[in-house]
Structure 1
Amino acid sequence: MSLADHIFIDMCKDILQAGVSTEGEKVRPKWEDGDFAYTIKRFGVVNRYDLSKEFPALTLRKTAIKSCTDEMLWIWQKKSNNINELHSHIWDSWADKDGFIGKAYGYQLAVKHCYKEGMMDQVDRVIYDLKNNPYSRRIMTNIYVHQDLHEMNLYPCAYSMTFNVTTEKGSEKLKLNAILNQRSQDVLAANNWNVCQYAVLMHMLAQTCDMQVGELVHVIADAHIYDRHIPIVQDLINRPVYDAPNFWLNPEIKNFYDFTVEDIRLENYVTGPQVKNIPIAV
């Protein structure tokens, strides 16, 4: 049983058993038929994944590693806010007629800021500090920019990464750790998708900066299961589980901006059947 499965199952059971229902509250999301989308939620969920031990892809069902990586690279590498530069269609509901989602996600990472060392965007600043000042406690990104919220078609859910480098006894390489902060998460639709995205990001940054991967800590302020997802989740967490897959990253790539989805793969990835046609609240 992979650790990711264990964490996911325990989290879902905790939400279903000890969570608080939003039924009757004034909620924003609606289902496609116009009904309000209520949830069972838990506040302040914290999950820890040791990437040095295994890659945290669920085996309960398949996580589409190339698709979630494509979205991550769309935000972090292309720094785009146009869905026409993204292969999946998960952002279509929030895009305008030209494909833009407003000043959100990749747009914010592309904004250059003035530092003592010169003008850099947030991604380049992270890479600069990891290479030149790895023990800094100030290596972080933040795309929840209040002054631009009114021009975002969707407020960022996963909004901040804080990187922290440690030494590993007996190792010549430094260890890259990170905290992913998320204000809100649809656990069924997005949990492992986000976890895998940022696990891949950490592997890429570690290789770029000649480090090894350490812990990914995922902090979710509002972890919720939608009312229409409850039977799907109950079925999912009672499935058989398998060993974690092996993660492969092309060792030839040393520049973060050179990575593509073809430079990653999951080997020996055995999973249960895919969950199809999950209703999404908007």
Structure 2
Amino acid sequence: MSYADELFVKMCRDILDNGTDTKGEKVRPKWEDTNESAYTIKRFGVVNRYDLRKEFPALTLRKTALKSCMDEILWIYQKKSNNVNDLHSHIWDAWADENGSIGTCYGDVVGRKFIYKEEETDQMDYVLRQLKENPYSRRIMTNLYQFEYLHSGALDPCCYSMTYSVTKEPGEERLILNGVLNQRSQDVLAANNWNVCQYAILLMMVAQVNDMIPGELVHVIADAHIYDRHVPVIEELIKREQYPAPKVSLNPEVKDFYKFTTDDLIVEDYQAGEQIKNIPIAV
């Protein structure tokens, strides 16, 4: 069965059984339909590890839209865009202005130029160059949480940093590329596996263009929470039948990070439970 399912069920059960309930406390989120406070059961400091050499970490309890995951990650790190018109899904529409912009956040921050060793670069180009020239560096990362731009962005980034770390195994000629994804806050029902699959795909792409093997993705969540309205949905979801993980790979012909498209994502044998529709979202 899918290891991602096992981790997800264990995490959800732990949050529900051992988490902190914010009901009655002062909280920021509201429900769109009633404008009432959206309370959560939350767990601090959740850490999950996924080894991409063993299987791709997609849930089978319900299907995760992997092509859409990749599309959004390309929007942020490849197109470096902050305009929803460059994205095929409508996930970000609620935060966009009349021109489609979400302001100085996400792709806008990734693409902002800075000087490194007297040369102009941006965050993603810096990562790609360092992995080629200095793969054992401990400074290879992107960081979307830039305080000087928060006031003019539509929202603070949830997944805010990705740190890349290279290792080598005995007998293996190619290097292993690992990543640590740091997330300040996560709506577990709406976004957990979405974010995991996104950054697994990103790790796979970056590894491939550097002739490396994608290794471990470590996901660190400061505040992992289940909204009060989501509790019965989660309770039903984690009791579902589990299936083997799908086989997910990339078109091996692509050697340039900026040439990837969603057509280069190959998904095979993805069996999953019924999709959950109309999940209420707190804003």
TM-score (norm 2): 0.99
Report the counterpart of residue 139 of structure 1 in structure 2.
140
Report the counterpart of residue 193 of structure 1 in structure 2.
194
Q: CA deviation at 1:11?
A: 0.2
Asked if the contact 1:66/1:265 (under 8 Å) is kept, the reply is no
Report the counterpart of residue 12 of structure 2 in structure 1.
12
Report the counterpart of residue 105 of structure 2 in structure 1.
104
Structure 2 CA distance for partners of 1:138 and 1:60, relative to 1, 3 Å: same
Structure 1 stretch 10-19 or stretch 86-95: which is displaced more? 86-95
Structure 1 position 58 matched with structure 2 position 59: yes
Give the match's secondary structure for 1:30: coil
Cα distance in 1 for residues equivalent to 2:103 and 2:214: 33
Cα distance in 2 for residues equivalent to 1:178 and 1:81: 24
Report the counterpart of residue 277 of structure 1 in structure 2.
278
- Measured against aligned partners, the alpha-carbon deviations of 1:104-162 in whole angstroms (never above 9, x if no partner) come to 00000001110116111000000000011000000011110011111111000000011
Match runs of 1:20-99 below 5 Å: 20-32=20-32, 33-99=34-100
Cα distance in 1 for residues equivalent to 2:62 and 2:266: 16
Match runs of 1:131-280 below 5 Å: 131-280=132-281
Q: Where do 5+ consecutive residues of structure 2 fail to align? A: none
Structure 2 CA distance for partners of 1:9 and 1:2, relative to 1, 3 Å: same
Compute the RMSD of aligned alpha carbons: 0.7
Counterpart of 1:18, as a letter, is N
Counterpart of 2:122, as a letter, is D
Q: CA deviation at 1:265?
A: 2.3
Cα distance in 2 for residues equivalent to 1:154 and 1:265: 32
Q: CA deviation at 1:266?
A: 1.6
Identity %: 66
- Measured against aligned partners, the alpha-carbon deviations of 1:162-206 in whole angstroms (never above 9, x if no partner) come to 100000111110000010000000000000000000000000000
- Measured against aligned partners, the alpha-carbon deviations of 1:49-86 in whole angstroms (never above 9, x if no partner) come to 00111000000000000011101100010000010111
Counterpart of 2:36, as a letter, is D
Cα distance in 2 for residues equivalent to 1:7 and 1:16: 14
Question: Runs of at least 4 residues of structure 1 off by over 3 A?
Answer: none
Asked if the contact 1:180/1:216 (under 8 Å) is kept, the reply is yes
Q: Where do 5+ consecutive residues of structure 1 fail to align? A: none
How many residues are paired up?
A: 282
Counterpart of 1:146, as a letter, is F
Structure 1 stretch 84-93 or stretch 171-180: which is displaced more? 84-93
TM-score (norm 1): 0.99
Counterpart of 1:8, as a letter, is F
Structure 2 CA distance for partners of 1:49 and 1:176, relative to 1, 3 Å: same
Cα distance in 2 for residues equivalent to 1:174 and 1:157: 29
Report the counterpart of residue 119 of structure 2 in structure 1.
118
